[in-house]
Structure 1
Amino acid sequence: MRSHQLAILILMSDGALGLYFMAAPIPKIAIIAVSGSLTRATFPTLTLVVDKADQLRGVYLSAVADSMGLMALISLGLASLALLMTVVPFRDS
């Protein structure tokens, strides 16, 4: 057990640790899905300019910057919905 998991268990409860285990992979799933989509979208463009070093650099940097911006938005969206995503499915009613 890792230290942050132990802290959740000690400071909160075993139920909170269970919710943590269920919620922890959600951002990773989103990142993997978006990463795969971006790869499928940018690969054809990169193959068109692979022999042109100056264009390849620009296209690559643009793809990296765009993907970082998209992932930042997704991360902020997940962070803003985190409470709703964990409380609503596991509420008492």
Structure 2
Amino acid sequence: MGRIKRIFFAVDRAFGGHLPPSEGRKRAVQHPLRFGVVGAVFFGGVAALAIGRIDLPTVLYSLVMGALVSLGVIGERKRMIHYGFLPRPDRPASRR
């Protein structure tokens, strides 16, 4: 697992992942569940508009997409913690 993690962060740094995140990204990682709900409503709404009705498959699709958005935001939070843009949850924040 350590090798895969090192490869991921090497590729991430190569694409600029070490640069400071925007304020919107910082705000999104503080509330992954809310962001997932917004993603679910968005994807469900687009799917409902595309097929013209709201039914069980559309609702299930929106729930799955919302869960995937939340998981992506949680992954982004872990990446920001790795680079030091957010304090680690197991350590108290330093006061300056």
TM-score normalised over the length of structure 2? 0.41
Comparing both structures, which one devotes a greater share of its residues to helix?
A: 1
Q: Which has the higher contact order (CA 8 A, sep 6+)?
A: 2
